[in-house]
Amino acid sequence: MRGPHNIWRLIRTGATFERSGAMKLLLDAYDAPPLLRVAARVLGWPFQWLGLRGDPAAPPLPRALTALGPAYIKFGQILSTRPDVVGPDLAAELRVLQDKLPPFSRDVAMKSIEVELGHPAEELFTEFSEPIAAASIAQVHHARLAETGEEVAVKILRPGIEKAFRKDVDAFYLAAWLIDTLAPFSRRLRPKDVIEHFDGVVRAELDLRLEAAAASEYAANTEGDAGFRLPKVDWFHSSRRVMTMGWVEGIPLGDIEAIDAAGIDRAALGERVLSLFLNHALRDGYFHGDMHHGNLKVAPDGTLLAYDFGIMGHLDVYTRRVYAEILYGFIKRDYKRVAQVHFEAGYVPADRDVDEFARALRAVGEPIFGMDATRISMGRLLAYLFEVTERFGMETRTELILLQRTMVVVEGVSRSLNPQINIWDIAKPIVQDYIEKSIGPRAVLSDMADTMKVISRYGPRLPELVDKALSRQLTAPAPKPRTSRRMLLLAGVIGLLMGGGLVALGVGLS
């Protein structure tokens, strides 16, 4: 599947961008240097006849991305939230990719329901509308349950979407291999790992049972969050290609005029989007990984409503603490500590100079503070960060790819609601509270108590494990002193952990 035949897919991608006029738009948006413009023209113009035609009535970039397929549409959805990167006009054009794509017919949708749920759609629903939203992977219908009369939203995967995504992802694997082979300096970015991560995310998004489970877990985590609500999953009317959820009314977050007409405070709403994302990432370690305008609405009372849980991010406790310390270091402008955290976490090779890295981070962070948020170009900031990471040999952290991407998207959504918003002002109290709860003395005792719980599970087997270890030591031909030191070290560690656990237990009981 990932053979040389995918070269045709890559060639056609460039040709489609050239034929639609999207290539020039992108070069202008990123202020490409003259040499790159000439190279793109020379390489692209002769092959433009190979490009897909797309919809001539659509703007150039949406036309190209829609013609190329769902994976490219996902890329366009992200760009649509970044007017500071591609410009407000281009961002507005790209918003049609979020939930205004050409739908498939109602009859096809009802047939899919019958195949998936085992009953004709007419038996399950007394009402079933034409598509009300169509995105890159699925579309949504408004319906009413025959059994209870409840209004619901029914999400159905596009016919053949699995095959279409497989084709795109296969071409991406080839592109990653070419980059890795022909540009060795880019290996630190681990392009193959990036595509594997993207592939895993896509596979999960193409099984709506996993999305329903994600929505259920997300709802349980955020039940107490003020001003935030999720629709309830209807498990009985859900399957791999069909998902049914409760119906909730709201204004799309991209409809600024309607939000203003409803009298909703956009500045407060923008702050809520940012603060909720940070809380979910740090507090829960489980966050919505696709928070663009098309997946967010606001209720008449100002409550934020979230949809589409096909892409969810997970961070383990250690990664959350590293992420929080890095953010907090930037907020406090303690660049030395930010640098040290990178080294301690292994994000930067140990042979690099920590002070030099701290100075490079200062050059990234200082322009952010004391500046009007509207003057900060995230595009230029990310470009400089790329130069810094390349200089210090940082490798791409696959576990942080989704977090980093979602952070960019969320900031873009918040800024569209309030252009004056400053991410650091919103982040400071949230990160500070997390630091106090998760890295202070109480957190240390809690960690030791958790460690003791794990060790205690092996309590009944400890005599057997020790006996086997000693037997191997007595019969092994290797020198005994080294093995004995290891045994003593192991015993010392276990003793230390047990002692620490008892202290933690004592503190907890007191």
d(CA 6, CA 170): 7
pLDDT at 46 over 80: no
Distances (CA, A) of 346 to 71, 79, 322, 351: 32, 31, 11, 11
Phi/psi for 252 (5° steps) reads -60, 140
Q: Would you place residue 85 in the very low, low, confident or very high pLDDT band (cuts 50, 70, 90)?
A: low
Report the half-sphere exposure of 493 (CA within 13 A, side-chain side): 7
d(CA 127, CA 81): 34
Angle at 397 between CA 391 and CA 403, to 5 degrees: 115
Question: Which is it for strands 304-306 and 125-134: parallel, antiparallel or unpaired?
Answer: unpaired
> How crowded is residue 129: how many other Cβ atoms within 10 Å of its Cβ?
15
What are the residues whose beta carbons fall under 8 Å from the beta carbon of 190, sequence distance 6 or more? 395, 396, 398
pLDDT of 404 reads 73
Concatenate the DSSP letters of all residues of 378-429 into one string.
HHHHHHHHHHHHHHTTPPP-HHHHHHHHHHHHHHHHHHHH-TT--HHHHHHH
Global pTM exceeds 0.85: no
- Residue 242 or residue 289, greater confidence: 242
Residue 432, exposed/middle/buried by CB under 10 A (0-12, 13-18, 19+)? middle
Exactly one of 89, 290, 351, 433 is catalytic; name it: 290
Q: Considering only 32-46, 58-72, 191-205, which range has the smallest mean pLDDT?
A: 32-46
What pLDDT digit, counting tens, does each position of 391-449 carry? 787 766 656 667 777 887 888 888 889 988 877 788 889 988 888 887 766 666 776 77
pLDDT of 369 reads 67
Its sign, for the CA torsion 443, 444, 449, 451, is: positive
pLDDT of 377 reads 55
Q: Would you place residue 36 in the very low, low, confident or very high pLDDT band (cuts 50, 70, 90)?
A: low
d(CA 364, CA 379): 12
Cβ atoms of 65 and 59 within 8 Å: the answer is no
d(CA 281, CA 324): 10
Q: In terms of Cα–Cα distance, which of 494, 467, 316 is closest to 403?
A: 316
Question: Mean pLDDT, to the nearest integer, of 81-94?
Answer: 68
The domain segmentation of the chain, as residue ranges, is: 4-98, 102-135+137-247, 250-439, 442-509
290 is an active site residue: yes
pLDDT of 306 reads 94
pLDDT at 499 over 50: no
Q: Would you place residue 483 in the very low, low, confident or very high pLDDT band (cuts 50, 70, 90)?
A: very low
Q: What is the DSSP letter of 144?
A: E
